[in-house]
Structure 1
Amino acid sequence: MSTPVHPREALLGAQAASVVLPVCDHYSGVEARMRKSLQLQAEMTEEFGACVFDVTLDCEDGAPVGGEADHAAMVVALAALAGDKARVAVRVHAVDHPAFEADMSLIAGKLSRHLCHIMVPKVESVADVIRAEKALLDASADNLPLHVLVESPLAVRNAFDIAAHPRVQSISFGLMDFVSAHGGAIPADGMSGKGQFTHPLVVRAKLEIASACHAHGKVPSHCVVTEFNDAVAMASAARQAASEFGYTRMWSIHPSQIRPILEAFSPSEDEVDGASKIMAAAALADWAPISFDGKLHDRASYRYFWQVLERAHQTGRALPPDAQAYFTSAAG
């Protein structure tokens, strides 16, 4: 009897992105909050059986002016203590900031084996990506991918070229800087609430970034929701980002935002159950076309339902035994 073929092998192009990332990226810029974030990550990893959010330690907005070097050293010491199951990243300064080179030399140089990626803000063009990559290489951190923040009209114009660079793993949208870059042409409500999902220029930017990422197999990451005390606004924004704008990842700036993001980006129990049954039937047919509940399915639809199962695993959803087996070490 032949060995069953794993969906990743059977379904060429089964993953829209070249890498699967946790759906939530949680930012902390103050040492006490960084420590609490890392502890929360460990607790929720134990709860869900998988690391369901990244922790990004912030050296850009988090560092006091004039204290950039000390802040970076603190981040290095803290990240080095994270456990083997932790997913920790660092946001450095922009490539044209005086502290950028020192950030990269210290952080990438000391933490290349501890970090999951480096986040570079205010990327305007491929030239900025190339400069950041050179800094990685100079720090002997060739293993680290780059995540980049697109925060201006020019950067949105260059999003497809930025996404095409092989070092870039994910693009995030910097909403507030993007609105500010328009010199008052976009009203303040474009930075929050319903405005960020209705103003034409903001909507266009979000769609351009999502489309650029999907075109090149990268992960589009949605911007922050500043109303972190408004659970309804948070949940609504996360659902819209996931279901209407094509984002597969989202920023959190407060611990209370993490679970709503996980919920919004998770498939429902019915979706998981249906996907599991279709994938089981497909595997029995050796991935040939099948009829299931009166509908034709083939590898095109199998790819979609495999992605549902991967998203369920990323967000800690319970999976039926047959589907869970795909995510054990033995299954690949």
Structure 2
Amino acid sequence: MSVSAIHPAQVLLGAQGGALSLPVCDHYSGVEERMRKSLALQAEMMAEFGRCVFDVTLDCEDGAAVGQEAAHARLVVSLVNGAVPGARVAARVHAVDHPSFADDIAMIAGEAGHRLCHIMLPKVESVDDVVQAEKLLQRATGADVPLHVLIESPQAVHRAFEIAAHPRVQSISFGLMDFVSAHGGAIPSSAMGVQGQFAHPLVVRAKLEIAAACHAYGKVPSHCVVTEFKNPDAMQQAAHRAASEFGYTRMWSIHPAQIRPILQAFAPAEAEVTLAARIVRAAADAQWAPISVDGVLHDRASYRYFWQVLERAAQTGCPLPGTVREWL
């Protein structure tokens, strides 16, 4: 095999390759009707784009009625196992201090671990919570199910780098509402809104700390929800700022109408995709030695960047130039 035939990820994504690539949208639903509709929409958009462009996370924490936690977990198992081939379906279990936490993992991972793309742990306070979940996962399933964690308190933000360093953690999400509430009124409620969450210094600091921790350890930072789901312009603006200003490569959706705006906001511009394809193809043809494109020098540092542009284009359903389509 020639060097130019080697997949770019093999050459470029080493120690400085950046975070793992995941779909840019993680869609949450917890009520049975909405869970079924979410999975149906995922299947429809898989057919449209030719790949799975968003995850569906089935929610036990907020979705299960009090006293019905076991029944809800069984429903989640059934839905995960019934998803179409190639679907990316996850489950959010109860928090580690909830009586149903261990049962959630035992049932869902034990009976559907081979189909789960990840398990989401809410209200993680320290790496000890991650270790506890990892031990339960090891007992429940032989499948290597990644853990995504939700940071929702000032102490958890303080420990973000330690949490991100754990090898089982694949992604960290920011829980905006609980984070604001945890400050006992010191942060105004306006900081939960689409404008305030990008302006209040404590919220901005928390977002940046989580993003920095993730990028330091090659994990995926996932941005918090936007509750103004009936305002597509606000959703688009928030998603764009999360991606372009705060370093997030993934975002939560809590309503089907938010999925496409997230995909669009995280997608690279057509001109950037075209340039990335030219550079990566020329680099492969040059066996990854330095090259000049339009009078600009490029080497493996910029190759990595432009390869990640192409990966993000594929994840968000952008048309890909034929010169690089074989890799994506």
Q: Residue 58 of structure 2 corresponds to which residue in structure 1?
A: 57
1:60-94: CA deviations, max 9, x gaps? 01111111111111111121111211100000000
Residues 15 and 48 (structure 1), Cα distance of their counterparts in 2 relative to 1, 3 Å cut: farther
1:74-116: CA deviations, max 9, x gaps? 1111211112111000000001111101111111111111111
1:36-62: CA deviations, max 9, x gaps? 000000110111111000000000011
Corresponding residue SS for 2:324? helix
Matched, 1:188 2:157: no
Corresponding residue SS for 1:316? coil
Corresponding residue SS for 2:186? coil
CA deviation after TM superposition for structure 1 residue 15, in Å: 3.5
* 2:18 counterpart (16, 19, 41): 16
CA deviation after TM superposition for structure 1 residue 141, in Å: 4.2
Q: Residue 270 of structure 1 corresponds to which residue in structure 2?
A: 271
Q: What amino acid maps onto 2:178 in structure 1?
A: D
After the TM superposition, list the runs of 4 or more consecutive aligned residues in structure 1 that deviate by more than 6 angstroms: none
Q: Residue 256 of structure 1 corresponds to which residue in structure 2?
A: 257
Q: Distance in 1 between matches of 2:266 and 2:126?
A: 29
1:208-243: CA deviations, max 9, x gaps? 000000000000000000000001110000000000
Q: Any stretches of 5+ residues in structure 1 without a counterpart?
A: 328-332
Q: What amino acid maps onto 1:264 in structure 2?
A: A
Matched, 1:290 2:288: no
Q: Residue 71 of structure 2 corresponds to which residue in structure 1?
A: 70
Q: Residue 137 of structure 2 corresponds to which residue in structure 1?
A: 136
Q: Distance in 1 between matches of 2:304 and 2:315?
A: 16
How many correspondences in the alignment?
Answer: 326
Q: Residue 330 of structure 1 corresponds to which residue in structure 2?
A: none
Q: Distance in 2 between matches of 1:6 and 1:51?
A: 21
Q: Distance in 2 between matches of 1:141 and 1:94?
A: 22
Q: What amino acid maps onto 1:91 in structure 2?
A: R
Asked if the contact 1:108–1:141 (Cα under 8 Å) also holds between the matched residues in 2, the reply is no
Q: How does 1:74-223 map to 2 (within 5 A)?
A: 74-223=75-224
Q: What amino acid maps onto 1:185 in structure 2?
A: A
1:16-49: CA deviations, max 9, x gaps? 11x3210000000100000100000011011111
Q: Provide the TM-score with structure 1 as the length reference.
A: 0.96
1:251-286: CA deviations, max 9, x gaps? 000000000000000001101001001111111211
Asked if the contact 1:59–1:68 (Cα under 8 Å) also holds between the matched residues in 2, the reply is yes
Q: Residue 316 of structure 1 corresponds to which residue in structure 2?
A: 317
Asked if the contact 2:114–2:143 (Cα under 8 Å) also holds between the matched residues in 1, the reply is no
Identity of paired residues, percent?
70
Q: Distance in 2 between matches of 1:160 and 1:277?
A: 36
Asked if the contact 1:150–1:171 (Cα under 8 Å) also holds between the matched residues in 2, the reply is yes
Asked if the contact 2:146–2:169 (Cα under 8 Å) also holds between the matched residues in 1, the reply is yes
Worse-matched range after superposition: 66-75 or 299-308: 66-75
CA deviation after TM superposition for structure 1 residue 2, in Å: 2.7
Corresponding residue SS for 2:149? strand
CA deviation after TM superposition for structure 1 residue 323, in Å: 1.1
Q: What amino acid maps onto 1:244 in structure 2?
A: E
CA deviation after TM superposition for structure 1 residue 5, in Å: 2.2
Q: Distance in 1 between matches of 2:55 and 2:147?
A: 14
CA deviation after TM superposition for structure 1 residue 140, in Å: 2.2
CA deviation after TM superposition for structure 1 residue 148, in Å: 0.3
1:160-189: CA deviations, max 9, x gaps? 000000000000000000000001000001
